[in-house]
Structures are given as C-alpha cells and as structure tokens.
Structure 1
Amino acid sequence: MLPAEDLKLVVEKIGRQPNELEQGIFLNLWSEHCSYRSSWPLLKNFKTTGENVIIGPGDDAAVVKFDDEHILSIAMESHNHPSYIDPYSGAATGVGGIVRDVISMGTLPVAVLAPFYLGPLDSDKNRWIFDNILQGSADYAETIKVAGIRGESYFDERYNGNPLVNVVCVGLGKKDNLMTSISKTPGNRFILFGSKTGRDGLGGAAFASADMSEDDTPARETIPSGDAELEKRVIDATMEIIEKKLIECCRDLGASGLTGATVEMAEKGGFGFTMIVDDVPLFFDDLTVYEIMLSETQERMLAEVKPENMEAVMEIMKKHNVLATDVGYLTEDPIYRVTYKGKVEAELPIEFIVSGVPKCELPSEAPAPRTEALLSKKPALPADMKACILNMLSSYNLASRKSVWEKYAKTTLPIVCGESGGDAGIIKVTDQKGVAMTCGCEPAICLLDPYTGSVMTVVENAMNLAVKGALGLCLVDNLNFGNPNKPEQYWYLKQSVLGLSDAAKKLNIPVVGGNVSLYNESAEFDTAILPTPAIGALGIVSFEKPVPSSFFKEAGETVLLIGTTKPELGGSEYYRVSDLEDAGTVPTVPENYDKIVEAITKACATGDVTSAHDISRGGLAKALASMLTDVGAEIDLTALSIDRADELLFSESPARAILTVKSTNKIAEIMNGIPCTVIGKTVAGGGLKIQTGKEEIVLTKEEIDDASASIEKAMKIGYKYE
C-alpha cells in the first residue's frame, strides 16, 4: 500500500511495521494533495505576507483585512478527478467543500467563482460533462444561498479525460469572529457535526495524487455526493457557535477526512489527539475503522469545545437539526491515537505524520525549443476580415457565456452588485466600499512559455480589477499540472510558480493561499492537461465615484486604448483557430506593467471613465465586440502602425485596456508616460465599425450576437451520453 521508500522511513521512525490503518494515514497525508511533497520547495517563492494579510497559507482559508470592522476570507480548491467520473456530484461537492473552508474561519460565504477547463463541445461526452458541472455547481450554490458571481470556461482537447473544476469562495465576516484551525488546550473535546460518515470519497487525497486511468478509477458511487440542504444547516450552526464564542477552533473535513482534520488541528497547537471511532455516526454499520477514518463524506465539520461549553454547542446543533457527537480530545503527549471497540488501532507520533514527509524538488527538463520555422510561421491573411472576426467570436473560447453561466450564477443576493459578463464581480460590503473579484488563467500561452503565461495570468486578473478602480488586495492559486515525476511536467510547474511569484511581487499582491492539483493526465486519451495555473484575486472598490461599466453606456464618448499592441500571436486564440498554436512569438509583457495597472486603476477610480474593459483573449476585436450594447463604436486603428489586420485585431499583448470618457484631459494626465491612444468614439445603434488602415469593417450587433452564441447553440444540441 505505502510506497517502499515511505514505508522504510515510517518503520525507521516508529520502530515497527505500520498496520493497515497507519499505512493509510501516511498514504493520504503524505500524498501530494495533502503534503505538497514535490511542490512545497517551489511554493516557498511566493510572498505571502502584507499589511492587510491576517492569515496566510496553512489554514482552511486565508483572511485579509477589509476595514477596521470587516474581514474577507478566500480559498481556492479543485475537484478535478471526481468531476470526470460524476461531474454533477464532483462540481457540487467542490462548491460545498470550499464553502466549508470559508465558514470555518468565522466568515459567511458570499460568493463563489468557478474557473472550468474542459474538452471541446463538439463531443457528446464533453457537453454532458459541462452541463452537469454547471448544473451541480448551480444547484448547490442556490440551495445554500451563495452567489455564483464569476467564472471562466476554457476549452481544449487536452482536457479530454481530465476536466478541471476549480472553485474560489469568498467570505465576509466581522473581525471579532475570526476563527482558526489551531487547537488550544489539552482536555478540550472535539465535536464532529454534520453528515453521517459513509464510504464516499474513500482515499480521495491519494486518488487526487494519481493519474486518471480506467484501471484505478473509483466507481461512480464512491465519488462524494453533496447534500446542500444539510450544508445550509451546517453553515447556520457553525456561524452561531462561532458568534457565541462557544468553540476554540474549527475545521472542515476535506482531504483525508477525519484523519486529516484531527491530525492537523492537534499538531498545529503542539498537542496529541485521542480519536474515539466508536462515537462516529455511520451510514453503514459494517464500515471498517480504515473506512471511517479516511472517508471523505461531505458536509462534516470538526470543532474544539471546552467541556463547560459542550451542552450549549449540542443545543445549537439540535436547534439546526445537525447531528453532532463527541469523537475525541486533545492530549498533552504528542501522540495520535485511534481507538475502536476498546482497542488502539493506530498510535503514531503526530508531528512525524505532518512533518515527516520527505519534500524535495524533482528533476525538471524543458521541452525541445520550437524551431525558427514555427516561430516565423503565419497564417495567410484572411481575404474576408469581417468573416474572420465573426468566426473568431464563435470560437468556444471567445463566445458569450451568458446563457450557460446564467445557470451557474442564478443565485442572486442583495449583497451582490455590478453586472453580468464584465471583467470582475463586485460585492457590496458597506455603502462606501465593496470587494471586486476575478479568476482565470492563460493555458495556451503557459504551454508555450509557462513563465510568461503565468505572469500574464496575474497581469490579466489585476487588469480585471483595475478597470473597476480596484488595486489587487490578495490572490490565491490552483496549480493544475500533469505528473510531476515527468521532468517536462515538473518544469512547467516550476516555471509557472516563478512567473506567478514574480508578477505578484511586482504588483504587490500577496499570494495568501491555494491548492496544488497534479497528476492531471488521462490514460484514456494519452494526454496531459495544458499547464493551468488558475488564480482568483480580490481588490477593494470605492463607491464614492461611479464604478466604470464593462459595456458602452453613452454615445459621443471618446474611446481610448491604453497600452501597447504588438504583432505577437504565439499561443493566441487566433492562431489556435488557425491551427497554428505553436507558431509565432508569445507576447512580451511590458516591463512597466505594474505602472500600467496602477494608472488604469487610478483613472477608473476618478469617476470620469464611463466604461472600461481589459483586452485579453481574442485581442481588440473581442474586447470591442464584448462592450456593445445599444451603443456601438466607430474605431480607427491606423495610429497603431501594424500592417496586418489580423495582428492588429487579434494580438493578445498584455496590460491593455479600452476606456471611454467624455473628456480626455484628466485621463491623459494620469497616463503620463503610458501609451494612451484615441482610437474612436461611441455611437448610437450598437454596431461596430473598424478602420484597420487598409479596409473598413462593419459589423452589426445582430451579427456579433449570432456569432457569439456558439456555446448556447452547442448546448442546445444536447448529448447522448450517460
């Protein structure tokens, strides 16, 4: 069961052969998913502290200061492997798990963001996966009354067999209710509350640290299933016992189930723990101690309670109809003991369980460099540029997500403000301020240059905040990669971490938490996923001045292009559509991208910018098309001095944005030294007219809307897959 080298290390430490349960404890807690054994040496590059960081990496969720009264929590997790086998349950429990991470910090979940990465929708199975991922997320979020406020859906054939379901949750709370998972006092009892324990998710941490193959894929019935109605009661009960100061620490039961929670909570306080398995409520009477301790049944929480508070806690659980039992206690001696039916089933040094795992960098090797022939290759210039734009807008990676994401984001609470389909979502916290949030990644560019692609990922998310007038407050990551034991895959991971780290430091955005999801490879399709370092980011928004819309609002305004456009299309959606993904030079990130982000943020906070939109995937053509309402634009790009219309329209040069203003004076002053070009004006009618220098392209809003509806059309086809 336990790998030979790990088994040898354990035997040397404890002086005997571990039994089956003890091996299972090490197998799961020493997995990559729990211990970061090969990724931790890289993650140390991140700057995790800052003036607003209250709790950084290491707890269920990170916590940052919003103002003197309020705190924000944020966590990001993945549920990738389960979501391929049972996408509805996999996605639903992904939402449920990340929500419990947030409530364990004493904060109420107010929004979830979901970056999803899947195979193309021309496959019945992929449409089935996408539909069920959306439905599972939406149903769970709606039942627990948490808004699905933002997301990303990205399609590529290398996600066939291994879709990525990443979820970010943001919580809001009062500073006085802050909770951690650090245990406090020997003799205190531990209350397990929520669902009964079953076999679902058994060994999930170990499963998440292995390649997907048909030989070792668990049966669908063992994938954790969610009970959102119970989750809502658990949320309410948890918040009440925290607000009434009845518990000392709290944690969600996630990876490795009861074992993971009890071991890590006790060890953080420097104590031991005695687990009484007999008192764990069970779905099935025939569960073994191994199954009970390592099951990942959902909707379960664990809390440390002083003996004198036990009765009050149990009364609150009863009031909310939440099952709760006393399952163990903290001890002075640093030993982890599991007892069952009067017998000690496991007895291990607790610090060794947590810290004894060997951590080291693995061999890394860059893939063979692309040839000069590829770097210089370009598609023939399209004869019909209008048709080319419409074809691009119908690409699954550029098409409108409005209809399908409405399924996910159908939960709407009064606390949510802002607009659907913009760059960042906004949560109103006070009358004066709110929090903006965004998520996403640049997988295609990460494949060609993981360092640059990861820098662009941070810059793109910072720009999404900037166009709302918000500077980055913090970010979390979900590092989705292939098998780290393959030198090329480990190289992608290593370069991506360096890129994320360097960009976050330059933008002064602390990396406060995250998750590593490795071994994302499919034996079924003989593929590894694209390198996908997805992130979620927060920023603070002021409501003292109007927040810019993501869409054109008024005719007669000046349209400004901020930043520099270069003819660099390697990894762009245009080249992907042209079957030239590996061709061309990847974008170069301007050295002063921090100054660009800062200037755009400042400009968009003045109240003088009516609308603002970041330029990213799909370039200028996509950004302009996305801004259309019943107000359109007449655009002249001749001043950009790029000869080829496709390079002009579809370049994905980073750190660029479109702003519309009534007067350019103040904005030009703010943009001192940063490229700021007048490229047109807004007009009534909702259409788009673009002068490239060699031709004029006229697009109606109806043509753009029809092209952009390709995802909606694909999903209406349905699927014949179960």
Structure 2
Amino acid sequence: MPETPSPESRPPHETGLDTVAVAAADPEREQPWSTLGLTADEYARIREILGRRPTSSELAMYSVMWSEHCSYKSSKVHLKQFSEIPQETRAGRMLAGIGENAGVIDIGQGYAVTFKVESHNHPSYVEPHQGAATGVGGIVRDILAMGARPVAVMDPLRFGPLHEPDTHRVLPGIVSGVGSYGNCLGLPNIGGEAVFDPTYLGNPLVNALCVGVLRHEDLHLAKATGAGNQVVLYGARTGGDGIGGASILASETFDATKPSKRPAVQVGDPFMEKLLIECTLELFAAGVVAGIQDFGAAGISCATSELAAAGDGGMHVELDRVPLRDSSLAPEEILMSESQERMMAVVEPADVERFLEICAKWDVEATVVGEVTGEGRLVIDWHGQTVVDVDPRTVAHDGPVYERPYARPDSQDALQADGAEALPRPTTPEELRETLLRLVASPNLCDKSWITDQYDRYVRGNTVLSQPSDSGMVRIDDETGLGVALSTDCNGRFARLDPYAGAQLALAESYRNVSTGGATPVAISDCLNFGSPEDPAVMWQLAEACRGLKDACLELGVPVTGGNVSLYNQTGDTAILPTPVVAVLGVIDDVARRTPTGFGRAGDRVLLLGESREELSGSEWAHVVHGHLGGLPPRVDLAAERALSEVLVGSAALLTSAHDVSDGGLAQTLVESALRHHVGVEVALGGVHEDVFVALFGESAARAVVTVDPADEEALVAAAREAGVPVTAIGTTGGSTVSVAGAFDVPLDELHQAWVATLPLALG
C-alpha cells in the first residue's frame, strides 16, 4: 500500500481537502479554470452539469479530458464524416474502429491486425528524447489494450531546416528517443519519414505508429461492465512527471510567456513497458481480463472515465490506494498525472487472485483501486472523503463541440496563381546533371541512414521490408507467409497549396507504396497535424483535408479505422504546413512473393507505369532550387491510383522490382532504385515527356517504375493496358551509372557520395 501523505506534507494550496460536500457548501470559491486551459463558457458548463461548482479534483478531470488533445472539440464536426465510409474492406472487415483505442482489421486465417498513428509533438519540442520516447510508449499501449501483441513501429517525423541550431537540438534527441524506446521493447522500426521545412522550426512533428497482431477471439475492448467487478491499476507507480502533460501542452500554441502551458514532460521506462506488455498478454491468455484501458493523455482521469462511460456507467475508486512515487501528490495531481507504463483492468472477483499472481510473476505492481457499480456515477474517494462524483459520460464523451469558423483565406488565390511554370529551368546537360546532384543531396531526398541506423529494423525476425523500401512489411504467420505492409506519407507543401487535394495525395502515396511491395491496401489511420483551430484559415485547411480523405476513402474502398488530431502546431503566428499524415495498411498472402524496391540485377527491362504531366508546383525542385511554394499540386486521379495498385499487386509475380514515383520525380526514383544494390540503369525518356527536364523532375502522381525480365515484358505491358494504366518502356538495368539519353551519365559512386553525405555532415 502506498505511503499516505500527511496534511503537513501536502503543497500549501492543498491544505484542506476540497470534497464534494465542501464544493456544495462553498459555491463561490475561486478556481484556476483558466490556468488549466478551460474557457469561461466551459467552466460554466461544468457547473451546470454538476449543479454546483466542481471540486478541485473534478476540475482537474474535466480540464484534461475536455482539452483539445483529448476531446477533439474543434475537429469532431469534421471527423464525423469518416463514419460515412463503409466499414467493409477489400480484404475483410473491420472488427473495431473509430472510438476504440485502435482500429482492428480482419486479415483472414483467423488473424486480425490493429494499427494506429498518434502525435507527441509539443512534448518532443520541450524535451526531445523523453517526448519522442513516451510517444512510442503510448501508441504501443494503445495497441496492447486491444488484445494484440505489438509487432512493429514507424515514425513519421518533421523538422525545421537542417542547418538551424534548434533542429540540431531537437532532431538527435527525438531520434534517440524513438530508437531507444522501440529497441528496448524489441520492436522493429520498419518505416517512417524525416521531412524538413521552415514551418516546423520551433514545432517539430513526432508522429508514432504501432501495429499489432491478434487472433479474432483475443479482441479486448475498453469498457467497465458487471457490478462488483474489481478495478485494478497495474504497472508503474504514479509520479509528478507529466502532470497535465500532453493533454494541456498540446492544446495551446507555444508561447514563452505562459509557463503554465509547459508542464513536465512524461518520463519513459521502456523496460517497465516490456514487462507490462508480456504481463498483459499473459493476463489475456489466462482469461482474467473483462475490460482494459491504457493510460495515455489525462492519466487516471482518462482511464476511469472512459472505462466507466463505455460500460455500465458506474465505478467507485479509492484514489488513496494508487501506488505513488511521490507521496506529496494531491488527489487532483494524481488524477492529472500522465506517468507512463500504466494500465487499468476490470477483473471479475473470482479472477483477482490469479490476476495479481500473474502480475507478481512479471514483477509488475498491481493494486485493486475500486469496483464497477450499477449507479451510473464515477465516484472517487480520497481517505474516505468523496472528491469526485460525476456522470462519467460528461467527462469522457460529452465535452464541448465547437463549430469553429473557417474560411478559405483571401491569400489562397494568389498562392495558387504563383505556379512553378515560370521558374528558370536547367536546359543543358551540365545544368540537368547539377540539378540531379543537388536534389539527391537535399535534406528531404538524401539518405536517412543516419536516422534509421539508430533503429533496430529486424528484431523479432519477421521484418520482410523496411527503410528505405517504399513500405515496411512484417510476416504474421510462419506457415502460410501471411503478412501486412504499412506506409506513412504526407507532402505538406501540396496540402498548403490545396488541402483537399493534398490530403488525397498523402493517402494516394501511402496506398501506392504499399502496392509496390505487392500488398493490397485495405485500411487507413491518420494523424492530422495543423496549426491553431482559432484561425479560420487553419480550420479551413482541416475541414478540406477531412473532406478530401473521406472522398478518397470512398473511391478507393478503404475505411478510416481511427487516428489522431493534433492542433495548435504553431509558434506565435507561424503555423506549420498542414500535415495530414496518412498510414495505409496492406495485406499480402505470402511475404515470400513480395516485390523488392531496388534494381536487383543487370539486364532487366525498366518500365514506367502511369502518365507524366508538367506538374512542378510544390515539387522538391521548386523547393530546393528556388525556395518557391505556389501553384497547384499534382492532379489527383484516384481511379488511376486504384488501377495502378491492381497492376502492381496482380502482376507481382512478373516484377523483379517496383518503386513509386513521388518526391523528386522520376530522377529520384531511378537514383534510389540504382543505389539500393549498386546496379546502374540506362534510360531514354522521349516517350515519357517531350521535355526531358519535366520527365525527370515532375511529380505527377499515380506512377511507379518497375523492372521485369525481358521475357515477361510483353505480359506486363498487356496487363497494364488491360487495366487502363499507361506503360512506357524506358530502358534497361546494368552498368555503373545512371544514364539518361540527352541529359547526363552520372557514376553511381558519385551519386552515392552526394546522397549519403548530407545528414552526417550536418549532424556529426
């Protein structure tokens, strides 16, 4: 039993317990609702719900649960359209979706996969290593809470310019946090992104994805049912780290004048999390878990209110039973603490002894802190006195919903009119060669091994594809070879030019990346990163992005299984590029038949699938060479994306490699494919576009470069044409250069040197 703090040891502002009885008798006491991030209207609404002022503990609960980070109060009105998307997928059905800890997809053979991507942006700026590490830990527990064994992670990252001192401060810490936490858990990091742009300076994005595997019968949900069932808190002790952490920190724009908005960042312990994972999986196997919830943002406030609200609606908790690392914590601090590596389970009385035995076996502390009731109230006592008495639904689900004003900004027309067509272009072979080398070495296109080498990509032995492949892929079943592939993508520049199309292009690229590996895309999760919702222009971006994703999912036949919204990503008046990161999950029947990304041998025929147009606005060329952002992004053609996917998956047996065409255009695709196994290529691009510069650096979507044995070329061409996918034979693999007729002939050694040098030179 934890040590009980004496009144003398408590902070001065906590002397004299604020109970429900005191709150009823003392209605006019001043309360720090504004400091906790509530508005005057929200505070008034809480008083209306309770019929009195809240106690300090109730105020703490409502403040964190009604924060932007936890309640999605500014985005709910736009997210609800995702429910219009059919839940059936091309490969199976969704077993759990939006509203659960993570979405669960049936992938056949009795297996299901759960995956989700979330953000830990602001904490990672304040304390890069711990902010990123606990972001990984939190998403892993979301997956674990569904009854699944976590099997892999991914990390979409965004930073300010590579040369900036603050990027040098945050990037190494964020990468070490992601790497060390995942490595200690024994989870392979199979993919992600590292993108640099000035708008992320002062507000990096740290999005984390986890995927887990379970049998259908192992699915668990977060609900507290059955009066008399016991509520057990297990895992790490509760401390003062992260009090109000992500929930409040991520709910307001960074402002150095408001230290109250910079609470302590959570501190992670991956070794404790590893024990928690194995302990929880054994608890599931023993059949002693009736309901479960992980602890993430909002801590005990979240776990108790969400479990109770999703179940019979009643729970009684003895808060003084909670094991503490800091005996001086007041009840409201315990409720707000976001200390890591904790779970809460609902257990039938007959199973409690066995539950505690399993926890003891794994050296995981477990304490019965309450029980489920049938009274429809969440009641929390502290040393025999009631400090919380609320309807849990008002805390967890019935928070404020804002229809914030949104409007297309007047500046959007001028932005879109300022296209890249008028920018000076390279025309001579020497200029084209120089442009190629400059782009290959640019921060967004260069080799990311400095980052990915800090991650273990192959632990557990089931990794089939990982960085720098288009997608990550893991084996699910050893006997059949059943596997899943995952990709995350977003081009924030495209979303800035047109947020509707930009969100669709993010989905399209992830969808394409999964397909190039030979997997059929079946579902998505998203992490919608935007600036302040109090800015109508930002809300317009968010609304358009949600509309774009919904329309794209309907056309592509993939549901949204869940995700995350991260707002207030701006420093002062500078908002980040709208960054709707989209993760796509694909299924492959046998990973042995996957398609590799790079050229594997000489003598293969090289073909370009898809149509190339003059689409340079928002491109890496415009960004790197001219520092330009304007015009319209590449045209979205979802029917073409779906047809391309069907060719890539349906003809996988013919392909010796496949690589999507995206950032940097066809030139970057050829370079990356050649450098993968140091196999050169000789191409002629007259059939791609009449302008060799456009053919090389344009970024039209719905394209991929594939290779086939010469004997299979005719069959692939026939399959592409039958599907309505344009196909152009452009060359042959072999040699030690990337050679483009009429443009350049660059040795692979020179390309490799340019490609790999950038991050090590900048970061040491």
CA contact (8 A) 1:142 1:411 kept: no
Q: Distance in 2 between matches of 1:639 and 1:8?
A: 67
Q: Which residue of 1 aligns with 2:109?
A: 68
- For the residues of structure 1 that align with 2:638 and 2:238, how far apart are their CA atoms? 53
Name the residue aligned to 2:40.
4
The CA deviation at 1:219 is 9.2
Q: Which amino acid aligns with 1:561?
A: L
Question: Paired residue for 1:106, among 133, 142, 147?
Answer: 147
Alignment-derived partner of residue 609 in structure 1: 655
Residue type of the alignment partner of 2:550: S
Q: Does 1:448 align with 2:490?
A: no
Of stretches 441-450 and 343-352 in structure 1, the one that deviates more from structure 2 is 343-352
Identity %: 34
Partner-residue secondary structure (3-state), 1:681: strand
What is the Cα deviation at residue 618 of structure 1? 0.5
List per-residue Cα deviations over 1:592-620 (Å, max 9, x = no partner): 22443333333443x11000000011100
Cross-structure match for 2:418: 374
Matching residue of 1:390: 437
Question: Do the aligned partners of 1:548 and 1:612 also contact (CA within 8 Å) in 2?
Answer: yes
In structure 1, the partner of 2:191 is 150
1:96-152 alpha-carbon deviations (Å, 9 max, x no partner): 111111111111111001000111110232123111111111111111111111110
CA displacement at 1:484 relative to structure 2 = 0.7
The partner residue of 1:36 within 36, 61, 72 is 72
**Contact kept in structure 2, 1:253 and 1:261, CA below 8 Å:** yes
Spell out the pairing of 1:201-220 with structure 2 (5 A cutoff). 201-204=242-245, 205-217=247-259
**Equivalence for 1:347:** 389
Q: Which residue of 2 aligns with 1:331?
A: 373
Distance 1:419 1:193, change over 3 A: closer
Alpha-carbon distance in 1 for matches of 2:194, 2:750: 23
Rounded to whole Å, the distance in 2 between the matches of 1:256 and 1:583 is: 40
Q: Which segment drifts farther, 124-133 or 478-487?
A: 124-133
Among 330, 353, 365, the alignment partner of 1:311 is: 353
> How far did residue 404 of structure 1 move?
2.0
Deviation at 1:217, TM superposition (A): 4.5
1:304-703 to 2 correspondences below 5 Å:
304-367=346-409, 368-371=411-414, 374-375=418-419, 377-382=421-426, 383=428, 384-410=431-457, 412-430=459-477, 431-523=480-572, 526-543=573-590, 546-590=593-637, 592-605=639-652, 607-628=653-674, 629-643=677-691, 645-662=692-709, 663-671=712-720, 672=722, 673-685=724-736, 687-691=737-741, 695-703=742-750
Q: Say whether 1:49 aligns with 2:87.
A: yes
Q: Quick one: distance in 2 between partners of 1:545 and 1:404?
A: 28
Offset at residue 573 of structure 1 (A): 0.8
Give the Cα–Cα distance (whole angstroms) in 2 for the partners of residues 678 and 603 of structure 1: 19
Aligned mates of 1:243, 1:19 — CA distance in 2: 40
Select which of 53, 60, 64 maps to 1:17: 53
Q: Report the CA distance shift for 1:30/1:220 in structure 2 as closer, same or farther (over 3 A).
A: closer
Is the partner of 1:114 in helix, strand or coil? strand
Offset at residue 167 of structure 1 (A):
0.4
Separation (CA, whole Å) in 2 of partners of 1:374 and 1:264: 48
Paired with 2:193 and 2:553, the residues of 1 have a C-alpha distance of 21
| Mapped contact 1:48–1:56 kept (Cα < 8 A) | no
- Name the count of aligned residue pairs: 709
What residue is the counterpart of 1:288 in the other structure? 330
Match of residue 299 from structure 2: 257
- Whole-angstrom CA distance in 2 between matches of 1:376 and 1:153: 24
2:355 alignment partner, SS class: helix
Superposed CA RMSD: 1.7
More divergent stretch after superposition (188-197 vs 47-56) = 47-56
Cα 1:584/1:10, change in 2 over 3 Å? closer
Q: Distance in 1 between matches of 2:470 and 2:485?
A: 10
1:173 correspondence with 2:214: yes
Q: Select the residue among 166, 179, 188 that pairs with 1:138.
A: 179
Deviation at 1:501, TM superposition (A): 1.5
Give the conservation status (yes or no) of the 8 Å contact 1:454–1:499: yes
Residue number in structure 1 paired with 2:759: 712
- Name the aligned partner's letter for residue 616 of structure 1: S
| Partner in structure 1 of residue 25 of structure 2 | none
Gaps of 5+ in 1: 718-722
CA change 1:244–1:558 in 2 (3 A) is same
Q: Which residue of 2 aligns with 1:720?
A: none
8 Å CA contact retained: 2:331, 2:382:
yes
CA contact 1:91–1:136 (8 Å) conserved in 2 = yes
Instruction: Measure, in 1, the Cα distance between the counterparts of 2:582 and 2:591.
Output: 28
In structure 2, relative to structure 1, the CA distance for the partners of 1:137 and 1:376 (3 Å cut) is closer
SS at match of 1:631: coil
1:37 and 1:439 map into 2 onto residues whose CA distance is: 25
Question: How far apart, in 2, do the equivalents of 1:7 and 1:613 lie?
Answer: 53
Q: 1:248 aligns with which of 273, 290, 300?
A: 290
Taking the aligned partners of 1:66 and 1:599, their CA distance within structure 2 comes to 18
Q: Structure 1 residues 682, 426: CA separation in 2 closer, same or farther (over 3 Å shift)? A: same
Identify the residue that residue 271 of structure 1 maps to in structure 2.
Answer: 313
- Give the deviation of 1:581 after TM superposition: 2.8
Contact kept, 8 Å, 1:506 with 1:594, in 2: the verdict is no
Quick one: distance in 2 between partners of 1:394 and 1:506?
Answer: 37
Paired residue type of 1:69: G
* C-alpha deviation, 1:716, in angstroms: 4.1
- Pick one of 58, 62, 79 that aligns with 1:26: 62
> Match for 2:130: what amino acid?
S
Equivalent pair of 2:168/2:763 in contact (CA under 8 Å): no
- Contact 1:395–1:710 (CA under 8 A) maintained in structure 2: no
In the alignment, the residues of structure 1 paired with residue 377 and residue 633 of structure 2 have an alpha-carbon distance, to the nearest angstrom, of 53
Inter-partner Cα distance in structure 2 for 1:100 and 1:489 = 31
Aligned partner of 2:20 in structure 1 is none
Distance 2:421 2:598 in 1: 35
Unaligned 5+ segments in structure 2 are 1-32
2:191–2:466 Cα contact (<8 Å) kept: no
Q: State the Cα distance separating 1:224 from its structure 2 match.
A: 0.3
Q: Which amino acid aligns with 2:564?
A: N
Rounded Cα–Cα distance in structure 2 between residues aligned with 1:599 and 1:458: 16
Tell me which amino acid in the other structure corresponds to 1:590: D
Task: Give the CA deviation at 1:221.
Answer: 8.2
Superposed displacement of residue 469, structure 1: 1.6
Q: Is the 8 A contact 1:471 1:601 kept in 2?
A: no
When residues 252 and 520 of structure 1 are mapped into structure 2, their CA distance, relative to the original with a 3 A threshold, is same
Q: Which moved more, 1:140-149 or 1:375-384?
A: 375-384
